[in-house]
Structure 1
Amino acid sequence: MWTSNQSSLEGFVLLGFSDRPWLEKPLFVIFLVAYIFSLFGNISIILVSHLDPQLNSPMYFFVSNLSLLDLCYTTSTVPQMLVNLWGPEKTISYGGCVAQLYIFLALGSTECILLAIMAFDRYAAICKPLHYPVIMNQRRCVHMAAGTWFSGFANSLVQSTLTVVAPRCGRKIVDHFFCEVPALLKLACIDTHINEAELNVLGALLLLVPLALILGTYGFIAQAVMKIRSAESRWKAFNTCASHLLVVFMFYFTAISMYVQPPSSYSHNRGKVMALFYGIVTPTLNPFIYTLRNKDVKAALMRALTKEFWVKAR
């Protein structure tokens, strides 16, 4: 087990899985493979969404934003995790920890709002098909996406600042594999109930309000779909929403279990499992969920691969 003497004067020690050293090498391989798949899947969707004219629509504009977000999400934590899993050193600098905390929170906050906007896009497409091109015009989509990213980073500035300013009295050992709010608040040597209350309010607003909007939006979508007489048309409408609903479930289930609770009741082992899920598993699976369930994306990928093959053949 690590002791405080092993931490640097300016940084933190990330315990990670050092209490189970036999797990570190297998986890290194698993995380490395997952990271490679995440890079490949998300970059592929970003490129195909921007290069294929048949995917030039609001839906795929927001899907490419989600892929960019997931790409940054995994990159903010996984490389440091791989370094710590492979070598004997488990340290991270103070600046690196703060940057990791801020970026991870910002991207998570952005995804909360982005998923709600993607639900609204599906509502407009299914419930207001005649007005859809006007409602989701290009300028409005760009403004909505920009507002989403700005809101996420602004919220992170508040939450990460509240976390970092809490005095730690020299405590540097973080029982986690990256710098996250609940784990860092456990290091505080003061009463953190005020910090917890503020963070819970922000977390509830950012998680529960968008989730309520998503559920309400899909309530209207379900009503509209049930009015469609053709079973084939109903299935097609449902299929366009299924991928988004699956991503929403995976992201919100783990995020709410982590952030809408007092950090004082935070369980390290449970926290690590949940963080692995929404920090690595979900961003890795998202592009494959959209690709494998979406005929348009699969067709665009095939067109891109076929075009690349013929270019090389010449």
Structure 2
Amino acid sequence: MTRMPLSLIDFCTVDPGESIGNSIARSVEIAQAAERLGYSRIWYAEHHNMPRISSSAPAVLIAHIGAQTSRIRLGAGGVMLPNHAPYIVAEQFGMLAEMYPGRIDLGIGRAPGTDMNTLRAVRRSPHAADSFPEDVRELQGYLSDDPHDAPIPGVRAIPGEGTQVPLYVLGSSLFGASLAAQLGLPYAFASHFAPTHLEGALSYYRNNYHPSERYPEPYAIAGLTMIGAPSREESEAELERVIRARVRAQVGRGQPVSEAQLDAFMNSHIGENVREMFRYSVLGTEEDLRRGCEEFAEKAGVQEIMVSLQATGHETRMRSLEMVASACGLSGLSRPESD
């Protein structure tokens, strides 16, 4: 297949019985292996009040992993901008850009990354997302080379100003696609968990793209779940375990759920909705992975695929990491030029 960039989204999953510290240590191991194998970048997503995800502070995590890697790009996929003042985000990622020059990305999303009760704890208004387009422009201004681009005269993001940290608009609908096209920014579609509008959103983005000085052509990324195994049957069984774990977490909310109860939920609309999240999944042997990745790239019409390594254990996750790299010809590739 064409050697398009292949990247990772790492949710810093906390496996059953594992400490958060161990999950972070595993993310370091994943990043080091991904760097060795030739993956282009790794992104970490901001989530809150989710016991199985420890990446609530992407900037802190990026700083930690950046110190233990040397080449691979690191970024947020993303920072949920309505939860933060754009000025503070500019300072945080400006500092990361100064610490790790040429290695930092900033994906920005409009969703809160949590439930409404937790949003109250974040101290942000439920209506904060309404100003997302203006917040993106404000963030661009603080990262600009020109101090006059700062939204508030005399207020400069230091660090941040002049770093030109590359921005990526994240989304799963026409809203994000429209904004990215209007601003001339790269667009990343979350098809690894929200597949419904993949083709429509990416088609709109390409057809309505307004070229910018930095990005004269549209640049689209799409998420794809990938599970490698010695046989397709084994990878399908692993995906089924992943889906059951996701349903259990959703309905149990920390409370025990029996296997009989879980079976009933798997056959309900809750199970159907979770299963639909994994519509775009590539499973099986290296040949299955190679062919599936190629077919997905053609279907989505993207310039880069961001792999979501879904697994119920670390060994399975690392096996998939190695198999995907081998199947897609990453090993030995030179690192793509930075943005």
Alignment TM class, shorter chain as reference: under 0.3
Q: TM-score, normalised by structure 2?
A: 0.26
Greater strand proportion: 2
TM-score by length of 1: 0.27
Larger RCO (CA within 8 A; separation ≥ 6): 1
